[in-house]
Amino acid sequence: MKKVELANVSKSYDKKNNIIENINATIEPGEFFVLVGPSGCGKSTMLRMIAGLEEVTGGDLLIGEKRANELPPSQRDLSMVFQSYALYPHLTVEQNITFGLHTKNVSKQEQKKRCEEAAEMLGLTDYLKRKPRQLSGGQRQRVALARAIVTHSPICLMDEPLSNLDAKLRAKMRSEIRQIQRKLGITMIYVTHDQTEAMTMADRMMILNGGHIQQVGRPLDIYNAPNNTFVASFIGGPPMNLTNAKADSTGLHLQDNRTMPLSPAIASALPNEVTVGVRPEKIQLADRDQTTLIVEIANVEILGTETLITFEIGNGEQWIAKWNGQWNVKMGERMPIYIDEKDLFLFDAETGACLYHQAERTESLSLEGASV
C-alpha cells in the first residue's frame, strides 16, 4: 500500500489561468478516497495528473514518499480504470485482462494464474474466451476492473467507471468495487459526479468546485456539517433546502414576509442577510404548540418507503420534506410544519460560508451487544 500526497498542486494550460489551484490533500495507504463535484470542476484532470497523463504545472505530487511530477506513467506503480472501459474488441476477455503484463516481465504461467484469480473474484470465469462485444455493460466493466487488479499495483485510479451503467447495476457494482478494494487492501482514488456513489463508497471524500477544494472529510461529517451552501446543496438526496432571509432579534424574515422563530442569542451573532438551510428529513409535521410555518403543498411523491412533499417558501422557491412511510396528502392542501432550531443551518448570504449549526454526532449505529 502507498499513500498519495498533493502539496499546493495546480494545473494550467496557458500558464495564466489555473483550472486547478493550490490543492492540498493526503490520501492514506489502503484508503478509498473519492473526488466528487459537478462537471468541469477539475476532478478528472486531477486524477490524470496523478496517473501521469497530465502535467503538474505547480506544486508537488508525491506517490509513496517519492516526488512523481516528472515520472512517466509506467513508473508510478498504479493502475487505472476508465469510464469507456478501453477494451480491445479483437482480443478475448482473458487477453484483455492480461494485456500489458508482458511489459512487467510477468511469466505466462503467472499471467494465467492472476487472470484466473481475478476472473473468479469478479464472476468472469465463464467468459474468458468471449470477445467484449459478447458481454453486457456490467461484464465489460468487470473486465476493465480485472485488468487493473492483475497488475498487483498498490494504487488504483478510477475515472467515473459506472456512469455508463443503469441504476440497478451501478448499485451492485458500487458494492462489488468497495468489497474488492477492502479485500486487496489497495489505495483507491475514485472520481465521480454522483454524490450517492461518493457517500456510499468513500472512506473520505474531497468536494471540488471550480478547481478549488470545498471540503474534505468523512461522508457523514460532510453531510452533517457542510462548510458552505455549495456543499450543502450538492451532498444529499434530495439536497438541503435553502432560501435567503433577513435576521434580527425577532427571527428570520423570509422573502414572502413570513417569519421563522430564532433565539435572540443566535440572531444577535448573525449578519442581517443570511441563507437558511434545513435537510428535508428534518422538516416535521407540526402539532398545535410547535408550528413554524403553514405551507401549501405543491407536489407529492410517494416512493413506497418514504414520501417527498414539495411546498413553496420564500418568494416562489420550493422546499422538500422527506417523511418515512406513505402519506395521504393532496396537492393544494395547507399543512403546518415544524423545524427545530437545532436542525437549522445558517450561512452567510454573500460568501456562502456556514455561520451556525448545532453539530451532530456522526457515530454510526453498532450491532455490538444486539441479540439476533
Q: Residue 366: inside a domain, yes or no?
A: no
Cα–Cα distance list, 234 to 36, 47, 325 (Å): 10, 21, 25
Residue 362, in any domain of the structure: no
Q: Is residue 370 part of a domain?
A: no
Which helix (H) or strand (E) covers residue 248, if one does? strand 241-248
Say yes or no: 280 and 331 in one domain. Answer: yes
Checking phi first, is residue 291 left (phi over 0); if not, alpha (psi -120 to 50) or beta? beta
Model confidence at 368, in pLDDT bands (50, 70, 90)? Answer: low
The CATH number that applies at residue 138 is 3.40.50.300
Residues 190 and 281 in one domain: no
Residue 39 CB partners (closer than 8 Å, separation 6+): 193
In a domain, 244, yes or no: yes
Structural domain tally of the chain?
A: 2
Examine the domain organization and report whether 242 and 154 are in the same domain. no
Q: What are phi and psi of 189, to 5 degrees?
A: -120, 115
- The three three-digit cell numbers of residue 63, written as one number: 506517490
**Parallel, antiparallel, or unpaired: how do β-strands 155-159 and 317-324 relate?**
unpaired
Residues 229-259 have pLDDT tens digits of 999 999 998 999 999 999 998 899 998 888 9
Residues 192-213, mean pLDDT to the nearest whole number: 95
- What Rg, from alpha-carbon coordinates, does the chain have? 25
Q: Which residues constitute the domain of residue 310? A: 229-356
**372: pLDDT confidence band, cut at 50, 70 and 90?**
very low
130 part of a folded domain: yes
Task: Give a yes or no: residue 361 inside a domain.
Answer: no
Cell numbers at 13, concatenated: 494550460
Q: How confident is the model at residue 369 (pLDDT cuts 50, 70, 90)?
A: very low
For residue 351, which amino acid is it?
T
- Separation between Cα atoms, residue 242 and residue 314, nearest integer Å: 10
109 and 206 together in one domain:
yes
Looking at the fold, whether 191 and 85 belong to one and the same domain comes out as: yes
8 pLDDT above the threshold of 90: yes
Residue 371 lies in a domain: no
The answer on 257 and 335 residing in a single domain is yes
State the pTM of this model.
0.89
